[in-house]
Amino acid sequence: MIVMFMGEYHQKIDEKGRLIIPAKLRNDLGNDFVVTRGLDGCLFVYPKTTWEKIIESYQTLPNIKDARNFMRFFLSGATNQNFDKQGRINISNPLIKYANLDKDVIIIGVGDRLEIWDKQTLEKLLTENEENFSKIADNLFSPKLGG
């Protein structure tokens, strides 16, 4: 079964780094999943099967400086996770600091993964790029649509 994450969920993270993941997302993630540093200042959350495919592809990368540096960034913060009885995950302090998470967070579905954002950071990113989304879509998809 292919999981397609989508949607936007406004949540709170408590002072202990605990974050409730909505039930729909918990069902799609499964019992074992990975949280790690993402790009653009968010956290990535991958189901275990997707994570294993990512690791397989990383093992084929050449042993060059860019690959090593990216793997350090991406893998050093990775944590295996599962839900507590309240449907929460516990995000480590280094990941909280990296994503600048402060009470109000937004979880978004982005295809094969979830992203956890600080609310203000995501809103700023969307506002700053709002005018460009049409151009970006044209560049990414028009050739595929015959445009």
pTM of the model: 0.89
Mean pLDDT, rounded, for 21-49: 94
Residue 29 lies in a domain: yes
Mean pLDDT, rounded, for 27-47: 94
pLDDT score for 102: 92
Measured in whole angstroms, the distance separating CA 67 from the mean position of its chain's CA atoms is 20
pLDDT score for 1: 59
Confidence of residue 36 (pLDDT cuts 50, 70, 90): very high
Q: Considering its fold, how many domains does the chain have in total?
A: 1
Which of 38-42, 71-75, 82-86 shows the lowest mean pLDDT across its residues? Answer: 71-75
Residue 129 lies in a domain: no
Joined together, the tokens standing for residue 13 give 């993270």
Instruction: Write the pLDDT tens digit of every residue in 97-142.
Output: 999 999 999 999 999 999 999 999 999 999 888 777 778 778 777 6
Domain CATH code at residue 28? 3.40.1550.20
pLDDT score for 65: 93
Residue in 51, 111, 121 with CA at minimum distance from that of residue 81:
51
Q: For residue 78, is pLDDT > 60?
A: yes
The total of other beta-carbon atoms located within 10 Å of residue 29's CB is 24
Range of the domain at 78: 8-118
Residue in 15, 16, 17, 20 with CA at minimum distance from that of residue 107:
20
Residue 105 lies in a domain: yes
pLDDT score for 145: 52
CA distance 116 to 37: 10
Residue 123 lies in a domain: no
